[in-house]
Structure 1
Amino acid sequence: MDGFGVPGQALASVNTTLKDMGMTNDTQDRVWLITGCSAGFGREIALAALAAGDRVMATARRPETLAELARTGGARISTAALDVTDSASIQAAVQATLAVFGRIDVLVNNAGFSGIGAVEETSMEELRSLMEVNFFGAVEVTKTVVPTMRAQGSGTIVQMSSLGGRITFPGMGGYDATKHALEGLSEALSTELAPLGVRVLLVEPGMFRTQMSSSLQIAPEMPAYQATSGELRKMVAGVVGAEPNDPAKGAAAIVKVLDAENPPLRLVLGGDAVDALRSHHESLLADVTAWETLSRSTAVS
């Protein structure tokens, strides 16, 4: 799971990762606003931004959880409370960022959670909760920041999606639906904002050693789904702490792609994600090819 070592060691480790990836440590002085920084990707992205010489507004529902991170960054980091389900909290955090740093160059929508349960096993309340945080929360934070970036004529919105934003898995239909929704809206948003100088980056991680796997919302299990979502439950339980990817390296990759001359709309993170996505798209293309004649038969004669 996430390593929380002493602050100096944490930042030194991120600096080493950035150098290993061929990145300089020249000060760029961008201002980042990051949601969900208490652990996992949010914390590691904040550390990577600091290591790149940038400034960070780190946020969390409980800002007291950010004390160690704040000590790590010194004067280049500030913290604020931000609950993505609370409009007033979102507005306050954005205004606090502008008051402290004067601008927002990178927004990272990282706050979110996951759940396991077949569609029938998952209650409507649980589905709405997932959508409220992972989709509507990210969208409202985005909409609150966009006017600032539009006025600046620059900025990048980083949406922390998932491999589940492109592929669905039995037992994760609710979570995958939130990420599919976020990807669809963000792809349209990227086209709308590109002429205005604002970019969108969708990050699609595979399995990383964060707290995600150990803090899942678990729906009651039904015997009918033991062979499908039940198998996913077993897989996730067995992989906790042994996920194949390092979130610090993932965070460094995100910083690197922001510096690219021609950054992608989507950044897939992790060999597991690359392999699964390639296989998925090959299967989709095979279906299109196999049924192409019937698909084209609908043309008006």
Structure 2
Amino acid sequence: MGRSLKDKRILITGASGGLGERIAYYSAREGAEVILAARREERLDALKQRMSDELDAKCRTIVLDVSRTDEIEAVFQTIGPIDILVNNAGFGIFEPALEASLEDMKSMFEVNVFGLIACTKMALPHMIAQNSGHIINIASQAGKIATPKSSLYTATKHAVLGYSNSLRMELSETGVYVTTVNPGPIKTEFFKRADRKGEYVKSVGKWMLDPDQVAGKIVSIMMTNKREINLPGWMNGISKLYQLFPALIEKAGRNAFHKK
């Protein structure tokens, strides 16, 4: 564990389930005050109750749809200053580029990119003023290596990585850290929407990451100057090779990539 999280105020978007829920649990176990943000109020309330019963956690909820960027400023004014922002809200839909709808394109960018940027802008002034804070952006290995049937999702995650890398340099003279988390597939509800036919999960199910392991890793680096978390290691190795030899990897991995 890096610096103590006791009494640190942590806002987690997309906290009503999956990875966001597990990050909330692990953060609360470290003594943080957790602010759960998501669209589904009933699930937020249920999670808050469980965390209170099991962990005696300091926890509050706020309904937030990050795609509605015009509402984010008001939400952050209600929340007040935070020490750590985990931009976890996001979704994907796996379809060939020709079949992907413009509506899905718009929705994915609104949530995965514009919402993330808007939340970050609202959190940063206080962090910079106190010269301490941490922005944690949940990106994806998809932001590092492109695969078929995920052109829109991959584009959003490339955008998240580009934004995060630039922001990190802008904040390098401050005490505010920026970390990107680049996991491969995780066993969460994400794939109920992303993989409607179930083909991708069937192909890669045995390699999927445990959300508890991913969440534990994320919480372990909070308030430390960690540039990236890349999971699993073997997939990140392929991503690194892809940066060096893209044509070779695309050719060698053609069959595997098309299993989505």
TM tier relative to shorter chain: 0.7 to 0.9
State the alpha-carbon separation in 1 of the partners of residues 242 and 24 from structure 2: 37
State the alpha-carbon separation in 1 of the partners of residues 167 and 42 from structure 2: 33
Task: Give the unaligned 5+ runs of structure 1.
Answer: 1-22, 219-232, 289-301
State the alpha-carbon separation in 1 of the partners of residues 245 and 38 from structure 2: 44
Q: Deviations over 1:12-50 (max 9, x none)?
A: xxxxxxxxxxx5996622110111111001101110100
TM-score by length of 1: 0.74
| Alpha carbons 1:31, 1:105 under 8 Å: kept | yes
- Of 126, 129, 133 in structure 2, the residue corresponding to residue 148 of structure 1 is 126
- Does the alignment pair 1:265 with 2:247? no
| 2:72 corresponds to | 90
Q: Deviations over 1:156-200 (max 9, x none)?
A: 000000111111110001000000011101100011112121110
Name segments (4+ residues, structure 1) moved above 4 Å.
23-27, 239-243
Give the letter aligned to residue 285 of structure 1: L
| 2:35 corresponds to | 57
Q: 1:110 to 1:286 in 2, by over 3 A?
A: closer
Q: Matched residue of 2:209: which SS?
A: coil
| Alpha carbons 1:25, 1:51 under 8 Å: kept | no
Q: How does 1:42-191 map to 2 (within 5 A)?
A: 42-71=20-49, 72-73=51-52, 74=56, 76-98=58-80, 103-191=81-169
Q: 1:27 to 1:216 in 2, by over 3 A?
A: closer
Q: Number of residue pairs matched? A: 243
Task: Give the unaligned 5+ runs of structure 2.
Answer: 248-260
State the alpha-carbon separation in 2 of the partners of residues 253 and 177 from structure 1: 25
Q: Deviations over 1:226-270 (max 9, x none)?
A: xxxxxxx6641415865532111111101112254xx33111122
State the alpha-carbon separation in 2 of the partners of residues 196 and 269 from structure 1: 28
State the alpha-carbon separation in 2 of the partners of residues 196 and 259 from structure 1: 13
| Alpha carbons 1:30, 1:105 under 8 Å: kept | yes
Give the letter aligned to residue 247 of structure 1: P
Q: How does 1:29-48 map to 2 (within 5 A)?
A: 29-48=7-26
Q: 1:183 to 1:25 in 2, by over 3 A?
A: closer
Q: 1:182 to 1:283 in 2, by over 3 A?
A: closer
Q: How does 1:230-269 map to 2 (within 5 A)?
A: 235-238=199-202, 244-258=208-222, 260=224, 263-269=225-231
State the alpha-carbon separation in 1 of the partners of residues 216 and 57 from structure 2: 21
State the alpha-carbon separation in 1 of the partners of residues 155 and 164 from structure 2: 14
State the alpha-carbon separation in 2 of the partners of residues 131 and 287 from structure 1: 25
- Aligned-residue CA RMSD in angstroms? 2.3
State the alpha-carbon separation in 1 of the partners of residues 125 and 136 from structure 2: 16
Q: 1:210 to 1:278 in 2, by over 3 A?
A: same
Q: Matched residue of 2:36: which SS?
A: strand
Q: Deviations over 1:115-162 (max 9, x none)?
A: 111111112222121111111111111111111211121100000001
| Alpha carbons 1:209, 1:242 under 8 Å: kept | no
Q: Which moved further from structure 2: 112-121 or 237-246? A: 237-246
Q: Matched residue of 1:115: which SS?
A: coil
Q: For the pair shown, which has the larger CA radius of gyration, 1 or 2?
A: 1
> 1:112: how far off?
1.0
State the alpha-carbon separation in 2 of the partners of residues 143 and 25 from structure 1: 24
TM-score by length of 2: 0.85
Give the letter aligned to residue 89 of structure 2: A
State the alpha-carbon separation in 2 of the partners of residues 84 and 265 from structure 1: 24
Q: 1:93 to 1:243 in 2, by over 3 A?
A: farther
| Alpha carbons 1:34, 1:108 under 8 Å: kept | yes
